[in-house]
């Protein structure tokens, strides 16, 4: 009688494929960096200048182009509309969780399965080495190619993903290892199977566990921090965001649909929801904004990875000093919010 009952294990991949085909149609030829399909309209001039710079033959020309490039970047980024910021955060070429993992960590041994019901490829977890120190790494991987995006379910995890993350958190606590989580997801996967397997309870369990965990937790939002699906791995002692990442309770297009029954008002909603890194820092929801290289992290992934590596390094030094305690974390989250107390 219930939909979920009639679903066989194969049905899940069917639904993902369906979603995948639709999305693939929207974004063809997106496997290599710099293809026309992946240059946002406001980036066009920047990309042109970058190409000219690469081909420039003498220093004078190079200097000239470099100056123009800087001016252009500054101008474009100063004038981004709220919706353009959303597009930037979701940029198909933005470095993904695995891109940072391979650049920042010396080794990453991926572990699989939630030990309850299965393996979720949208949520990645395992053991990583950072400057000779072992850490537990957990994060959502959206995928770089169309194939990978489909395989990763666009970084939208099922409950098995959150339970895999929980398994990693528990192990980290037992073995006294610090945790690094990398957040990049539209949200937890909205699917009947996910509901049947307890998406809500799985996320809630992670929130509760991370609140009390007796090891240090570092979280970074690298692209998109979508609602409870993001928060489910982001209750950290130190939570930071890349400058052009967004973190929100609800996607702007959905907010516009709910409040005004008009998804095209997404630009208005994107502004009203206050979803940028600087907004979140202002609300003390995050602890730091990580600056991105000119033109955004996707224009210079190596430099962006450097910035994140430095932040992790500082965090781990403070972890060694015993700066991060569960009590401090609890106090930080307990303070979040603005209310009136009318006596």
Partner 1 sequence: MPFLKRRRFVSVIGRKSQVPDGMWMKCPGCNQAVTRKEIDENQQVCTHCDYHHRIGARKRIEFLVDPGSFQETHMGLQSADPLGFVVEETSYSYPKKVKESTEKSGMTEAIVTGFASIENTRTVLGAMEFGFLGGSMGSALGEKFCRAADDAVRERLPMVVFSSSGGARMMEGILSLMQMAKTADGVRAMNAAGVPFISVLTHPTTGGVWASFASLGDIILAEPHAHIGFAGPRLIEGALKVKLPEGFQSAEYQHEYGYVDQIVSRTEMRSVLGKLLAYLAPQ
211 binds partner 1 (CB under 8 A): yes
What's the distance, CA 247 to chain centroid? 8
From the list 127-135, 170-178, 275-283, 308-316, the region that binds partner 1 by CB under 8 A is: 275-283
Asked if 127 and 144 count as a contact pair (C-beta separation under 8 A), the reply is: no
CA angle 207, 163, 323 (to 5 degrees): 45
From the list 72-80, 107-115, 192-200, 308-316, the region that binds partner 1 by CB under 8 A is: 192-200
Joined tokens for residue 45: 């001039």
For the bound state, the minimum distance from the C-beta of residue 29 to partner 1, rounded and expressed in Å, comes to: 25
235 binds partner 1 (CB under 8 A): yes
SS (H, E, C) 105-167: CCEEEEECCCCCCCCCCCEEEEEEEECCEEEEEEEECCCCCHHHHHHCHHHCCCHHHHHHHHH
For residue 47, what are the β-bridge partners?
Answer: none
Q: Residues 249 to 268: which contact partner 1 by CB under 8 A? A: 249-250, 254-255, 258-260, 265, 268
Joined tokens for residue 211: 């609140």
- C-alpha Rg value of the chain to the nearest Å: 21
For the bound state, the minimum distance from the C-beta of residue 274 to partner 1, rounded and expressed in Å, comes to: 5
For the bound state, the minimum distance from the C-beta of residue 283 to partner 1, rounded and expressed in Å, comes to: 6
**Binding test (CB under 8 A) with partner 1, winner from 157, 248, 312, 316:** 248
**Binding test (CB under 8 A) with partner 1, winner from 121, 141, 146, 227:** 227
195 binds partner 1 (CB under 8 A): yes
- d(Cα 27, Cα 25) in Å, to the nearest integer? 6
Q: Residues 6 to 25: which contact partner 1 by CB under 8 A? A: 15, 18-19
Asked if 288 and 238 count as a contact pair (C-beta separation under 8 A), the reply is: yes
Given the complex with partner 1, which of 180 and 188 has the nearer CB atom? 188
For the bound state, the minimum distance from the C-beta of residue 163 to partner 1, rounded and expressed in Å, comes to: 14
- d(Cα 273, Cα 271) in Å, to the nearest integer? 6
- Cβ count within 10 A of residue 225: 30
Joined tokens for residue 63: 């200097």
Given the complex with partner 1, which of 99 and 193 has the nearer CB atom? 193
Binding site for partner 1 (CB under 8 A): 1-4, 15, 18-19, 188, 190-192, 194-201, 203-205, 207-208, 210-212, 227-228, 231-232, 235, 247-250, 254-255, 258-260, 265, 268, 272-275, 279-280, 283, 285, 330, 333-334, 336-343
């Amino acid at each position: 009688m219930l939909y979920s009952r009639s679903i066989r294990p194969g049905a899940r991949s069917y639904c993902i494929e369906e979603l995948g085909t639709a999305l693939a149609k929207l974004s063809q030829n997106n496997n290599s960096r710099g293809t026309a399909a992946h240059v946002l309209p406001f980036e066009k001039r920047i990309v042109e200048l970058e190409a000219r710079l690469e081909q420039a033959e003498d220093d004078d020309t190079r200097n000239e182009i470099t100056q123009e490039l800087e001016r252009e970047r500054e101008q474009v980024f100063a004038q981004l509309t709220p919706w353009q910021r959303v597009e930037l955060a979701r940029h198909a070429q933005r470095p993904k969780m695995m891109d940072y993992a391979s650049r920042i960590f010396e080794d990453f041994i991926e572990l699989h399965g939630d030990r309850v019901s299965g393996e979720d490829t949208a949520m990645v977890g395992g053991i990583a080495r950072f400057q000779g120190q072992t850490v537990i790494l957990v994060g959502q991987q959206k995928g770089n190619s169309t194939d990978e995006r489909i395989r990763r379910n666009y970084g939208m995890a099922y409950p098995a993903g959150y339970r895999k993350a929980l398994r990693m958190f528990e192990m980290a606590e037992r073995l006294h290892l610090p945790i690094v989580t990398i957040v990049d997801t539209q949200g937890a996967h909205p699917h009947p199977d996910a509901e049947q397997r307890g998406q809500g309870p799985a996320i809630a369990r992670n929130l509760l566990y991370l609140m009390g965990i007796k090891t240090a937790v570092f979280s970074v939002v690298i692209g998109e921090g979508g609602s409870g699906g993001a928060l489910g791995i982001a209750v950290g002692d130190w939570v930071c965001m890349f400058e052009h990442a967004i973190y929100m309770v609800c996607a702007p297009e959905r907010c516009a649909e709910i409040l005004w029954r008009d998804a095209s008002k997404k630009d208005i909603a994107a502004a009203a929801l206050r979803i940028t890194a600087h907004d979140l820092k202002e609300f003390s929801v995050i602890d730091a904004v990580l600056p991105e290289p000119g033109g955004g992290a996707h224009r210079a992934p190596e430099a962006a990875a450097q910035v994140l590596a430095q932040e992790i390094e500082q965090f781990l030094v403070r972890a060694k000093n015993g700066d991060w305690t569960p009590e401090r974390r609890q106090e930080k989250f307990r303070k979040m919010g603005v209310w009136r107390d009318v006596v």
